[in-house]
Structure 1
């Protein structure tokens, strides 16, 4: 097998691995959003106990990237692809961590009997899920324009986070004895927002891959 053909196959294999990781992470986020609504303890514990799968796959992807860099010394677009995958790999692992954190917060809130406050996280959760899906679709299709749509979605997620913060602060002012549980309620919004931020970073890496342009903070919306 020629060196070029071998390199091409390794690149294709690497793409498959990062997409597989992306699919697993999207599933974790979907389950976390479901747990916010249904407070399913069994599902929450299952999410906590499966976090090692994401961690292991992140290591596999990183090692594969480093091996390709060392053996083939790619240049131009191939080099951008490897760099983008290394960064996206890390972002996906962090997104999965936030999904686990959401499950932890729900379990903690469930142990707090004196929290009667409820905030509707469904619109925010749905927007975050949409961001993750669009981000992965942009990666699969290598579509910079699709990636840029995430920047606008991220602004909406930030707005939901601010609403949650305001609602929780108002509730704390009314019922100071519920502080610990209410803080955990707000942290759910914070974790969702951070998933959005990490997905925003993935969009920036897709744009870098496709256009060779380093974009930070949403670039030119």
Structure 2
């Protein structure tokens, strides 16, 4: 019984580390977009410099998960929890990278006047942050209904991505360099939403023990 209680405590620690990583990724996406909106280059540089926090935490999660497998030799849902944690950590770390990429685009645009409204991109960012919050809730509660809702929100991000790219293409002759960077930002947000959907799929696998493609 003592061994089981210790193992359950370690599973809680693993979950807490993942949630902390998710908040780091969410913060990176949120702050990098503020840097873009406000054309705050100092903030953008700071986001890039802080990226190693997410990298180190992902490594810590992976090492911790592998150690749990080696020590406890878990089966059934306990093993799925650990395997899902490794997969989710990878998706979250990529999301943090996209925040850094948005910051880099903000730097490349600099403080030149923006020639394309950020309205659609802002909406994409807002939905993506909501998806991350839902993913955290779904993971903590192992709620597959929330996981399915994430996939529905991803469809809206995809739609906005298509609309924004269409609008940018119409202005590509005005300032190709800036439009290129803004199109990258749109892509980074769209890919972030895809990774959140991947997390939803991992949660479904954790609970049901089978895979479900929510990115169809």
Q: What is the TM-score with the length of structure 1 in the denominator?
A: 0.92
Query: For the residues of structure 1 that align with 2:55 and 2:39, how far apart are their CA atoms?
Result: 25
Task: Identify the residue that residue 37 of structure 2 maps to in structure 1.
Answer: 37
Change (3 A) 1:114 1:47: closer
Query: For the residues of structure 2 that align with 1:129 and 1:74, how far apart are their CA atoms?
Result: 33
**Kept after mapping to 2: 8 A contact 1:108/1:184:** yes
How large is the RMSD of aligned CA atoms in angstroms? 1.7
**Kept after mapping to 2: 8 A contact 1:204/1:216:** yes
Deviation (angstroms), 1:131: 0.9
Task: Identify the residue that residue 5 of structure 1 maps to in structure 2.
Answer: 5
SS of corresponding position for 2:170: helix
Query: For the residues of structure 2 that align with 1:34 and 1:137, how far apart are their CA atoms?
Result: 25
SS of corresponding position for 2:24: helix
SS of corresponding position for 1:116: coil
How many positions carry a matched residue from both structures? 215
Q: Encode CA deviations 1:3-57: one digit per residue, 9 max, x unaligned.
A: 2222222112111111111122222222123223222212111111000000000
SS of corresponding position for 1:171: coil
Please say if 1:118 is aligned against 2:117: yes
Deviation (angstroms), 1:199: 0.3
Q: 5+ unaligned residues in a row in structure 1: which ranges?
A: none
Runs (4+) of structure 1 exceeding 6 A deviation are none
Query: For the residues of structure 1 that align with 2:118 and 2:20, how far apart are their CA atoms?
Result: 33
**Kept after mapping to 2: 8 A contact 1:148/1:218:** no
Q: 5+ unaligned residues in a row in structure 2: which ranges?
A: none
Task: Identify the residue that residue 205 of structure 1 maps to in structure 2.
Answer: 202
**Kept after mapping to 2: 8 A contact 1:115/1:182:** no
Q: What is the TM-score with the length of structure 2 in the denominator?
A: 0.94
Deviation (angstroms), 1:87: 0.3
